[in-house]
């Protein structure tokens, strides 16, 4: 059997990390993060969980452990293989951040246990910021690993990435706490995390590819959209008291993200039309 290529391994690791983040959000939303009797790494006084909430937290920890081992593997493969140095450095950055993410996660679920201030807003914020940083580093590692193996041109890839973000941002809005259409319960919060990460990854890819295309001057728009999506992701995790003012700011950030992305998407569409016309 032929071994998967490194780039597919990196892509799998990035997707697994994004899934882990969404699972962590779902776990927190169900209140299961504290279900293991405030113990870490044990659960309910032993290795295996005893209740459904405990199982959710235990399963989250299991996926986290697997993801950590896979991340170690992707870093080792990057340095041992014939990968671009940037790929190896991005993957290594994710691995360097991992112990901090694990430590903060352990603190988060020890409410009034080993760490009295474990279950607090600053700790949750740090946990999420480390997770987003690891995901971003792996996204960049994957993008650079695919360098030289893309079938589409830089322009086409940039256009597709921006187009994907343009679809994902409204989808993320629908499952966000701003939307009145869907209850912001645990399933919606998990979907919110997944679509937010997917939107952010698409914008990161566009930011990497745009400079070497005719759309280079629109790169700041991608950065603005990416920053707005990043802030929206933070606001979706109860890191501030969600007043009417916070809801308004959240909605405005979605508007900024969508409009900035739409401007770049329109420019890409016009550029594609000009390119086809010149080839005709």
The per-residue pLDDT for 254 is 97
Name the residue ranges covered by the structural domains of the chain: 1-149, 151-280
CB 99 within 8 A of CB 128: no
Short-list 245, 265, 61, CA closest to 160:
265
**pLDDT (tens digit per residue) in 48-102:** 777 788 888 888 888 999 999 999 999 999 998 778 899 999 999 999 999 888 8
Short-list 125, 150, 154, 146, CA closest to 214:
154
Q: Check pLDDT > 50 for residue 280.
A: no
Q: Across 48-52, 154-158, 171-175, which has the greatest mean pLDDT?
A: 171-175
Integer Cα distance of 273 and 214 in angstroms: 13
How high is the mean pLDDT of the chain?
Answer: 86
DSSP assignment of 84-144 equals: -HHHHHHHHHHHHHHHHHHHHHHHHT-BTTTBTT-SSHHHHHHHHHHHHHHHHHHHHHHHH
What does residue 43 show for φ and ψ, rounded to 5 degrees? -145, 125
Confidence of residue 105 (pLDDT cuts 50, 70, 90): confident
Mean pLDDT of 200-220: 93
Confidence of residue 106 (pLDDT cuts 50, 70, 90): confident
Q: For the ranges 23-27, 231-235, 267-271, which has the lowest average pLDDT?
A: 267-271
The per-residue pLDDT for 123 is 74
Confidence of residue 278 (pLDDT cuts 50, 70, 90): very low
Integer Cα distance of 26 and 45 in angstroms: 23
The CATH number of domain 151-280 is 1.10.10: no
Mean pLDDT of 169-183: 93
| pTM score | 0.88
């Amino acid at each position: 059997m032929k071994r998967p290529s490194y780039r597919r391994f990196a892509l799998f690791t990035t997707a697994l990390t994004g899934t882990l983040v969404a699972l962590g959000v779902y776990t927190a939303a169900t209140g299961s993060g504290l279900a293991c009797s405030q113990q870490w790494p044990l659960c309910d006084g032993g290795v295996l969980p005893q209740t459904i909430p405990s199982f959710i937290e235990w399963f989250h920890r299991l996926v986290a452990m697997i993801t950590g081992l896979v991340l170690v593997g992707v870093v080792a493969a990057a340095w041992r293989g014939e990968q671009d140095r940037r790929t190896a450095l991005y993957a290594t950055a994710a691995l360097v951040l991992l112990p901090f993410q694990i430590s903060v996660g352990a603190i988060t679920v020890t409410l009034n246990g080993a760490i009295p201030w474990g279950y607090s807003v600053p700790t949750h914020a740090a946990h999420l910021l480390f997770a987003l940083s690891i995901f971003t580093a792996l996204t960049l590692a994957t993008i650079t690993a695919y360098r030289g193996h893309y079938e589409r041109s830089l322009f086409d890839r940039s256009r597709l990435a921006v187009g994907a973000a343009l679809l994902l941002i409204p989808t993320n809005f629908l499952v966000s706490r701003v939307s009145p259409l869907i209850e912001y319960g645990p399933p919606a919060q998990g979907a919110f995390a997944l679509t937010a990460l997917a939107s952010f990854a698409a914008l990161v890819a566009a930011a990497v590819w745009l400079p070497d295309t005719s759309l280079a001057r629109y790169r700041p728009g991608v950065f603005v959209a990416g920053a707005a999506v990043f802030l929206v992701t933070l606001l979706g995790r109860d890191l501030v008291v969600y007043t009417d003012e916070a809801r308004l700011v959240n909605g405005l950030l979605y508007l900024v993200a969508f409009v900035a992305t739409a401007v770049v998407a329109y420019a890409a569409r016009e550029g594609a039309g000009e390119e086809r016309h010149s080839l005709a």
